[in-house]
Structure 1
Amino acid sequence: MTSAAVRVLLVDDQGLFREALATLLSVRDDIEVVGEAGDGAAAVRRVADLAPDVVLMDLRMPVLDGIAATRRMSADYPETKVIALTTFDDDADVFAALRAGAVGYLLKDVSSARLVEAVLAAARGESVLQPSVAAKVVARFAQLPPEEPEPAVPLSEREREVVRLLAAGNSNREIAAALFLAEGTVKNHVTSVLTKLGAHDRTQAALRARALGLL
Structure 2
Amino acid sequence: MNTTSNIRLVIVEDRADMRAALEEKISFFSDLQCVGVAEDGVDGVGLVKEVKPDLVLMDIQMPHMDGIDATLAIKSELPNVKVLIMTVLDDNEHIFHAIKAGADGYLLKDADPSMFISAVNEVLSGGAPMSPNVARKALNLLRSGSEPEREQANPLSERELEILMELSRGHVYTQVAETLTIAPSTVRKHVENIYKKLQVHSKIEAIDLARKRGLF
TM-score relative to the length of structure 2:
0.63
Offset at residue 141 of structure 1 (A): 2.4
Conserved? CA contact 1:9–1:35, under 8 Å: yes
8 A Cα contact 2:92 2:141, kept in partner: no
The 5 A counterparts of 1:4-19 are 4-19=5-20
CA distance in 1, matches of 2:141, 2:32: 34
Q: Could you tell me whether the CA contact under 8 Å between 1:86 and 1:108 is conserved in 2?
A: yes
Q: Could you tell me which residue of structure 2 aligns to residue 195 of structure 1?
A: none
* Unaligned segments of structure 2, at least 5 residues: 147-216
Equivalence map 1:52-67=2 (5 Å)? 52-67=53-68
Amino acid at match of 2:5: A
Q: What letter matches 1:135 in structure 2?
A: R
Greater relative contact order, per chain length (Cα 8 Å cut-off, separation 6+):
2
Contact 2:9-2:55 at 8 Å conserved across structures: yes
Deviation at 1:35, TM superposition (A): 0.9
TM-score relative to the length of structure 1: 0.63
Q: Report if aligned partners of 1:106, 1:129 keep a CA contact under 8 Å in 2.
A: yes
State the shift of 1:17 in Å. 1.4
SS of aligned partner of 2:10: strand
Aligned length: 143
Letter in 2 for 1:39: D
Partner-residue secondary structure (3-state), 1:129: coil
Q: Decide whether aligned partners of structure 1 residues 144 and 49 sit closer, same or farther in structure 2, where only a CA change above 3 A counts.
A: closer
Q: Which amino acid aligns with 1:22?
A: E
Partner of 1:96: 97
2:163 is matched with which residue?
none
In structure 2, what residue type is equivalent to 1:75? Answer: S
| Structure-2 separation of matches of 1:141 and 1:20 | 32
Per the alignment, residue 33 of structure 2 pairs with 32
**Distance (whole Å) between structure 1 residues aligned to residue 62 and residue 25 of structure 2:** 22
Aligned counterpart, 1:71? 72
Q: 2:42, 2:70 within 8 Å by CA — same for their partners in 1? A: yes
Residue of structure 1 equivalent to 2:137? 136
How far, CA to CA, are the matches of 2:51 and 2:71 in structure 1?
A: 16
**d(CA) in 1 for partners of 2:19 and 2:145?**
38
Secondary structure of the corresponding residue to residue 55 of structure 1: strand
Aligned equivalent of 1:49 = 50
Deviating above 6 A after TM superposition, structure 1's stretches of 4 or more consecutive aligned residues are none
